[in-house]
Amino acid sequence: MAIRRKLFAGLAVFLSGLLSSAVYAAADLNMRPGVTETSVEAFELHMIVVWVMTGIAAVVFGVMFYSIFAHRKSKNPTPATFSHSTTVEVIWTAIPVLILIALTVPAVKLLIKMEDASNPDMSVVVTGSQWKWHYKYMEQDIEFFSNLKTPQVRENFKLEDAQNNENYLLEVDNELVLPANTKVRFLLTADDVIHSWWVPELAVKKDAIPGFINETWTSVPTPGIYRGQCTELCGEWHGFMPVVVRVLPQAEFDQWVVKKQEEKVAAEKAAAEAAARSWDMDKLMALGKEVYDAKCALCHQVNGEGAGTFPALKGSEMAIKADRMKDHIEIVVHGKAGTAMQAFSGQLTDAELAAVITYERNAWGNNTGEIVQPAEIQAFKAGN
């Protein structure tokens, strides 16, 4: 008996220790209320349900534990014989029904509000693809890809990286910038598989489905940075395609739009200049390696040997035979349907495309000696 008691005491200390360290370690054990009207209301509804459920649990488990204590064989040697009571059974069917009805009312109200994307002030098309997001501002004519800041190669994700970076896995190269206090409508779709766009603090989660368009909305009152992730399994790097929304006051947002549009013009000019120039092999190879390691090595590997379903480029016919050069350009520029091979025309400049193709045709013993000039890419894209 004494041993058992000691055991229980030890157990209790162990458990409470675990619990308190957990509480200490993570300040928030709960859902975050978020910053939008709907997220706060969702949080409140969540709290209501939590408390209702806790109440029911307290009553049901309370009765049960009392029974376990008081109706043990040692305390109650002769069991009662009842096994049925219509009254009681009707009561405990009716009470849950009433509780559920009471819970349904606020849920219905909030649901209708959350699904009402009408009369937006601006619209953003969000396109998911393996494994990044693409944002297109309908009114401002701005569009860009949003990648995880760290290139998606295994070596980049270590414990130290997580410990040294508060926003580990939650940082992107190009954030989605939105104005505050503006009803923004998101139109979601996907390029390959289903993705899901989630920002917890805005209480926005909607699936991006290839071939279909979905809509949802938000209106963020407080400027700030809000981070989320893709929440629908979308393949190998599903855990590595975050969503980052930066909300700016209207005036700053307008400045940002102007800056973005200027950048776009400048980039087009630079690309045209680069394409007009003739590049030498060393320059193309240097740029090509940089681009390859960042964009291609994830699947085709740094050594060009491929992995699993991702084909090897080293020694591949397409990358070494002169008459297949056109196919090579084609697949890099436009991608391949039904595979993870994306169209890179929108993601890389003509110079970068030319460089990476040149690199692939000359690295790892693919010594074709062939050079692809940015001008050739430009001509290819124009359909000539």
Partner 1 sequence: MTERAPQDKNKQLVLRLLGIVGGMFIFGFALVPLYDVFCEITGINGKTRGQAIYQKETVNKDRLVTISFITNVNRGMPWEFKPMKTSMKVHPGELSEIRFYAKNRSSQNIIGQSVPSVSPGEGALYLNKTECFCFDQQTLLAGEEVEMPMKFYIDADLPEDISHLTLSYQLFNVTEAVQSATGAAK
Partner 2 sequence: MADHHPTGIKRWLFTTNHKDIGSMYLWFSFIMFLIGGAMAMVIRAELYQPGLQFVDPNFFNQMTTMHGLIMVFGAVMPSMVGLANWLIPMQIGAPDMALPRMNNWSFWILPFAFTLLLLSLFMEGGAPNFGWTFYAPLSTTYGPPSTDFFILGVHMMGISSIMGAINVIVTVFNMRAPGMTLMKMPLFVWTWVITAFLLIMVMPVLAGVVTMMLTDRHFGTSFFDAAGGGDPVLFQHIFWFFGHPEVYIMILPAFGVASEIIPAFARKKLFGYASMVYATASIALLSFIVWAHHMFTVGMPVAGELFFMIATMLIAVPTGVKVFNWVATMWKGSMTFETPMLFAIAFVILFTIGGFSGVMLAMAPVDFQYHDTYFVVAHFHYVLFPGAIFGTTAAVYYWLPKWTGKMYNEKMGKIHFWWSMIAVNLTFFPMHFSGLAGMPRRIPDYNMMFAEFNQLASIGAFALGLSQLFFLYIVIQTIRSGKKSEDKPWDGATGLEWEQLPCPAPYHTFDTPPKVK
Residues 219-278 that bind partner 1 (CB under 8 A): none
Q: Contacts for 54-59 with beta carbons within 8 Å, 24 or more apart?
A: 56/99
Separation of alpha carbons 140 and 264, rounded Å? 12
Separation of alpha carbons 215 and 199, rounded Å? 15
Note whether 147 binds partner 1 by CB under 8 A.
no
Note whether 115 binds partner 2 by CB under 8 A.
yes
Q: Which is nearer to partner 1, 192 or 201 (CB)?
A: 192
**For residues 289-328, which are near partner 1 according to CB under 8 A?**
326
Three-state SS at 308: coil
Note whether 343 binds partner 1 by CB under 8 A.
yes
Contact map string, positions 4 to 23, toward partner 2, x by CB under 8 A: -------x---x--x--xx-
**For residues 23-52, which are near partner 2 according to CB under 8 A?**
25-26, 28-32, 38-39, 41-42, 45-46, 49-50
Half-sphere exposure of 118 (CA within 13 A, CB side): 3
Using alpha carbons, select from 296, 309, 368, 366 the residue that is nearest to residue 335: 296
R_g of the chain, CA atoms, integer Å: 29
Choose the stretch contacting partner 1; rule: CB under 8 A; options: 30-38, 99-107, 185-193, 303-311.
Answer: 185-193
Closest distance between partner 2 and the C-beta of residue 365, in Å? 24
Contact map string, positions 254 to 283, toward partner 2, x by CB under 8 A: ------------------------------
Q: Give CA separation, 155 vs 203, 243, 298, 337, in Å.
A: 33, 22, 11, 29
Separation of alpha carbons 43 and 330, rounded Å? 49
Separation of alpha carbons 289 and 284, rounded Å? 8
Choose the stretch contacting partner 2; rule: CB under 8 A; options: 162-170, 177-185, 258-266, 353-361.
Answer: 162-170
**For residues 326-355, which are near partner 2 according to CB under 8 A?**
337-340
**For residues 100-129, which are near partner 1 according to CB under 8 A?**
116-120, 123, 125, 127, 129
Closest distance between partner 2 and the C-beta of residue 207, in Å? 5
Element (H, E) at 194: none
Using alpha carbons, select from 263, 227, 225, 257 the residue that is nearest to residue 242: 227
Contact map string, positions 209 to 228, toward partner 2, x by CB under 8 A: xxxx-xx------------x
